[in-house]
Amino acid sequence: MLLYYDNMRAQITLTTNEAKRVIAKGISQLPSVKKALRSGKIFLKGGTTVSAVCEELVGKPLRISGRVTPNGTKTGQVELKGFHCALIENGVVRDSDSSLEETVAGLEAEDVGIIGANAIDAYGNAALFYGAPLGGLPGRIISGLISEIKEVIVAASLEKLVPGSISDIIRSAGRKSTNVAMGMAVGLIPIGKRVITEKDAIALIADVTCSVLGKGGILGAEGGTTLIIDGKSREVQRVLDVVFSIKGSQVSGISESLIECSPPHEKCRIHRACMYKLGKKPTLS
Please give the torsion angle defined by the CA atoms of residues 243, 249, 184 and 146, in that order, rounded to the nearest 10 degrees.
-50
pLDDT, tens digit (0-9, with 9 covering 90-100), for 115-171: 999 999 999 999 999 999 988 888 889 989 999 999 999 999 999 999 999 999 999
Task: Work out the burial of residue 186: count CB atoms within 10 Å of its CB; fewer than 13 is exposed, 13-18 middle, 19 or more buried.
Answer: buried
pLDDT, tens digit (0-9, with 9 covering 90-100), for 74-113: 999 987 778 999 999 999 999 998 899 999 999 999 999 9
The HSE-up count of residue 113 (CA atoms within 13 Å, CB side) is 31
d(CA 258, CA 67): 8
pTM over 0.85: yes
Beta strands 112-116 and 92-95, pairing class: unpaired
Count of CB atoms situated within 10 Å of the CB of 59: 8
- Name the 3-class secondary structure at 1: coil
Please give the torsion angle defined by the CA atoms of residues 132, 250, 157 and 189, in that order, rounded to the nearest 10 degrees.
0
